[in-house]
Amino acid sequence: MAKRNQMDRRTRRRQLPQRGYTQLLQGNRLATARATNVDMHVKHCFEVCRAVKNKTAGEAVAYLNNVLKIDSDRADVRRKAAAVPYRLGSGNKRKRRSGPSMVGHRKGGIGPGRYPVKASRSILKLIESAMENARFQYEDIDAEEMVISHIAAHRGPIRRGRFHGPVVVPRPATTTVSIWKSSWKT
């Protein structure tokens, strides 16, 4: 009986009209964009998504451009870079203060943070894609003023390498990021 209920749930899930999204697309004047199987760490994407959620698209683009300043060759530009606050697995609840999961505190009173350049680049590209989708769908809308109402990062499939001989092939995880923007400020 339990097996039959699982199959029913799976078939119902497959028949949803908006496959691949984590929430229902509700509201009028929404713009969406999605990136699937992107080669990035999920933790970095999760923290960047948390940092830009509920901001307008213009604020999010400016913030991510400030994060990307850390990749500059000039030291005076690198000093102006903004860190992304890391909350998940930052080691604040543990007494031990060493190891790879520990993140140091940054300037500006944000607490522990890092500068995830690769994740910031791809999420910036995704936000700009959603802005272009909004401009294409609604001609009377200002895409810079749209609010990022939902943005999520989930683990994607692990890519399998070729297994010949005793060589251990790394298996990088991929990430799926989806974004929705609504036209009103909440």
**Tell me, what's the pLDDT at 20?**
58
Residue 32 lies in a domain: yes
Residue 12 lies in a domain: no
Q: Return the CATH number at 102.
A: 3.90.470.10
Residue 48 lies in a domain: yes
| CA pair distance 97, 147, nearest whole angstrom | 37
CA dist 57 → 125, 155, 166, 178 (Å): 12, 24, 48, 14
Domain count for the chain, please give it: 1
Using CB atoms within 10 Å of the CB of residue 125, give its burial: 0 to 12 exposed, 13 to 18 middle, 19+ buried: middle
pLDDT in tens, 9-42: 666 655 555 555 666 666 677 888 888 888 888 8
| CA pair distance 129, 176, nearest whole angstrom | 15
CA contacts within 13 A on the Cβ side of 38: 22
Structure-model confidence comparison of residues 178 and 45, the more confident one: 45
Residue in 172, 125, 131 with CA at minimum distance from that of residue 148:
131
| CA pair distance 21, 34, nearest whole angstrom | 9
Question: Which tokens is 161 given?
Answer: 């390498």
Residue ranges making up the domain that contains 43? 28-159+171-182
pLDDT in tens, 34-89: 888 888 888 888 899 999 999 999 999 999 999 999 988 898 888 888 889 887 76
Percentage of the chain lying above the pLDDT 70 cut: 65
Residues 6+ apart with CB under 8 A from 12: none
Residue 23 lies in a domain: no
Residue 89 lies in a domain: yes
